[in-house]
Amino acid sequence: MTLEWEQVNVDAADPVALGNWWAQMLGWVVITDSPEEFEIRPSENRLPGLIFVPVPESKTLKNRLHLDFRPDDQEAEVGRFLAQGARRADVGQGDEPWVVLEDPEGNEFCILGPRRG
């Protein structure tokens, strides 16, 4: 059996706004631009992508799945995300080398530090 990782689904109150925010932050392209399904990818033919779909309920708990990013410069990247509307988040991580942030709808993601070793 062969499986290809197509995308990660992200529940959103406003899929278009959240999808556009992530497309801007990641420098990705918009594949599908619809309030019912807003998809972005690294490039038109490159997977996996992120697809934002509407949900009626508000987010109330910590996500059980989240994205991790490892930039060249953690401090600069955290600053860039914060300047564009991300917020710092405390999910019980304590004193760790990564920074937990939330996107404009409260979905957690991490900006990692340098690789160890």
Q: What residues does 29 pair with on adjacent strands?
A: 41
Of residues 79, 80, 116, 82, the one with CA closest to residue 96: 116
Which domains does the chain carry?
7-55 (3.30.720), 66-117 (3.10.180.10)
Q: In this structure, what is the dihedral angle of CA atoms 82, 88, 94, 96, given to the nearest 10 degrees?
A: -20
| pLDDT tens by residue, 76-108 | 999 999 999 999 998 888 888 899 999 999 999
Q: What is the pLDDT of residue 116?
A: 79
Gap between the Cα atoms of 98 and 117, Å rounded: 16
The CB density around residue 11, as the number of other CB atoms within 10 Å, is 16
Residue 117 has pLDDT above 80, yes or no: no
By DSSP bridging, strand 49-54 and strand 37-41 are antiparallel
Gap between the Cα atoms of 65 and 86, Å rounded: 18
pLDDT band for position 73 (50/70/90)? very high
Residue 40 has pLDDT above 90, yes or no: yes
